[in-house]
Amino acid sequence: MIIGLTGGIGSGKSAATAIFERLGIGCVDADHVAREVVEPGEPALASIVEHFGPDLLMADGTLNRGRLRERIFTNEPERLWLEALLHPLIRKRMTQQLAAQTSPYAILVAPLLFENDLDKGCEASILIDVPEEIQVSRVMARDNSDEAQARSIIKRQMSRADKRLRASYVIDNSGTLADLENALVALHQEIMAKLPTPSSETGKRHDD
């Protein structure tokens, strides 16, 4: 069983992921996978360098992400080319990593879970939800950015209301970390209760 986990910037996705991992649940992070597919030695990095030029590489051979963002920021055709290259590779690797998980269910962590329709490959989805004012204050504190920058990032994401409508479970993270952990432990127990257990299957075979 695969469950998607998402939330707007500053909502607490990383904290939620850490809690699920402590509960023994395997988590695959879409952002981490996106970085993996362009590491040195990966075919995608070679394709990017061939297309954009060798000046996109750092001295150590890694991708200069800032320079790549500059190239595609106002160039729609180049952005679409990059997405056509990377998105299938990212989806394939996420699928492989999720299939390799041995926990009772697995979590796909994706900031753009709904925007990229990744939830369609999940049996359920969890939204870590906070009011926008809390998002803004957390982003400003975390990234040392100003309020205008924080609000600009938030406005580029799917609206909070639309995410709440689309999610299977909505977890309020406007309280403390302990509150979040309590809510996710309860949700974990709810999910586990819905899953068939190996002991019940063994019992059925024994009865036969």
Say what the pTM is.
0.81
Of 74, 102, 130, which residue sits at a domain end? 102
Residue 102 exposed, middle or buried by CB count within 10 Å (0-12, 13-18, 19+): exposed
Of 102, 133, 162, which residue sits at a domain end? 102
Expressed in percent and rounded to 5, the helix, strand and coil fractions of the chain are: 60, 10, 30
Query: Average of pLDDT values for 157-182?
Result: 92
Neighbours of 76 (CB within 10 A): 9
Higher pLDDT, 202 or 24: 24
Q: What is the dihedral of CA 51, 34, 60, 50, to 10 degrees?
A: -10
Higher pLDDT, 99 or 72: 99
Q: Which helix (H) or strand (E) holds 150?
A: helix 147-155
State which residues form the domain around 142. Answer: 1-25+103-195
